[in-house]
């Protein structure tokens, strides 16, 4: 009897492993669907075995960025944000504001998955790292920057648009 139970358990494990549940990667939409500049961009995308993906982009100016909103983010909405319901946008740049690229050079190449901590959860793409902080418009119409010291890393922000320098 023990042999039969053991054999049945082994068969169940093998069948599940071969035909089993869909992996979490297959539940994610194609990340290329949220690119803002699909033609002429410098984004290189590849998929490896399993969940390994690479999204490489050349950083120039402030054009390489992620657009999200405080309403779809774990990042707390700042108190001094513009007092208009439609102003909820946050921009997560790949360069320091006013910088010319990455570590001060022009044309720095980065992997966006690791740079922004991009993850897929509940079939949606999120940024979880904010290397140069989050920009938003304050109530006076000026640009503000928060979280540039890493204090917001780990908080999820739904990626609405992913842009790369051209």
Nearest to 115 by CA among 133, 84, 94: 94
Nearest to 55 by CA among 80, 20, 73, 30: 30
pLDDT tens, residue by residue, 10-52: 444 443 333 334 455 668 888 888 887 654 556 778 887 777 7
Average pLDDT over every residue of 72-88: 82
What is the rounded CA–CA span in Å between residue 143 and residue 136? 6
Q: What's the domain range around 147? A: 23-163
What is the rounded CA–CA span in Å between residue 36 and residue 57? 13
Q: Is residue 11 included in any domain, yes or no?
A: no
Q: Is residue 70 included in any domain, yes or no?
A: yes
What pLDDT is attached to residue 134?
A: 93
Q: Is residue 6 included in any domain, yes or no?
A: no
Q: Is residue 30 included in any domain, yes or no?
A: yes
Counting the structural domains of the chain, the total is: 1
Q: Is residue 7 included in any domain, yes or no?
A: no
pLDDT tens, residue by residue, 99-137: 444 444 456 788 889 999 999 999 999 999 999 899 998
Q: Is residue 90 included in any domain, yes or no?
A: yes
Q: Is residue 133 included in any domain, yes or no?
A: yes
In degrees and rounded to multiples of 5, residue 114 shows phi and psi of: -80, -35
pLDDT tens, residue by residue, 42-78: 677 888 777 778 888 877 665 788 999 999 999 998 8
What is the rounded CA–CA span in Å between residue 147 and residue 135? 9
What is the rounded CA–CA span in Å between residue 129 and residue 65? 12
Q: Is residue 13 included in any domain, yes or no?
A: no
Query: Strand 143-146 vs strand 134-137: parallel, antiparallel, or unpaired?
Result: antiparallel
What is the rounded CA–CA span in Å between residue 58 and residue 64? 8
C-alpha torsion 70→125→64→35, nearest 10: -120
């Amino acid at each position: 009897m023990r042999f039969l139970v053991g054999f049945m358990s082994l068969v169940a494990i093998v069948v599940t492993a071969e035909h089993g549940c869909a992996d979490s990667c297959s539940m994610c939409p194609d990340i290329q669907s949220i690119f803002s500049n699909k033609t002429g961009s410098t984004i290189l995308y590849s998929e490896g075995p399993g969940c390994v993906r690479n999204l490489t982009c050349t950083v120039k100016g402030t054009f390489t960025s992620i657009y999200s909103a405080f309403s779809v983010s774990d990042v707390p909405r700042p108190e001094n944000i513009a007092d208009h319901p439609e102003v909820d946008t946050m921009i997560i740049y790949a360069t320091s504001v006013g910088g010319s690229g990455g570590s001060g050079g022009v044309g720095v190449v980065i992997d966006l998955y690791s740079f922004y901590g991009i993850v897929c959860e509940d079939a949606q793409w999120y940024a979880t790292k904010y290397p140069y902080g989050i920009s938003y418009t304050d109530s006076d119409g000026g640009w503000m920057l928060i979280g540039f010291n890493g204090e917001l890393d780990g908080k999820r922000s739904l990626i609405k648009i992913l842009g790369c320098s051209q």
